[in-house]
Amino acid sequence: MEKRVFFKYYIPALEQALDYEQQVDFEVIGPDMFISDINIRNGLDKFENDNYFEFEKLFYLVANYFDAKIHNLQNVDGKNIRTIKEEVLKEIEKIKEIYF
């Protein structure tokens, strides 16, 4: 899967997941759950595994953020999860500038 194709699906799903968690306090759904086509989800998973280190900051922040939300943690590695979310949003904007 090409980078543009990956981000075409991943970024909107990530934005939906971040927006959803603001609306529903006790339910946390990651970006993959906003992609209904299993083949696309599998392709996104493969892309993430194959390209993790190229986009490590984004994937690391996203994983930490949603893991903290699921476990109701306020801090991860000494960072408040609101700060982590802000960093995720900054990474999204960087990706959009390059791939959209």
**Domain boundaries along the sequence of the chain:** 3-99
Structure tokens at 54: 């190229």
The confidence score (pLDDT) of residue 53 equals: 98
Structure tokens at 22: 């603001």
The confidence score (pLDDT) of residue 90 equals: 98
pTM, rounded to two decimals: 0.90
Q: Is the CB of residue 20 less than 8 Å from the CB of residue 61? A: no
Q: What is the mean pLDDT of residues 50-57?
A: 98
Q: What is the mean pLDDT of residues 14-29?
A: 80
Provide long-range contacts, Cβ within 8 A and 24+ apart, for 38-45: 40/9, 43/1, 43/6, 44/1, 44/6, 44/9, 44/10
User: 10 Å Cβ neighbour count for 87?
Assistant: 18
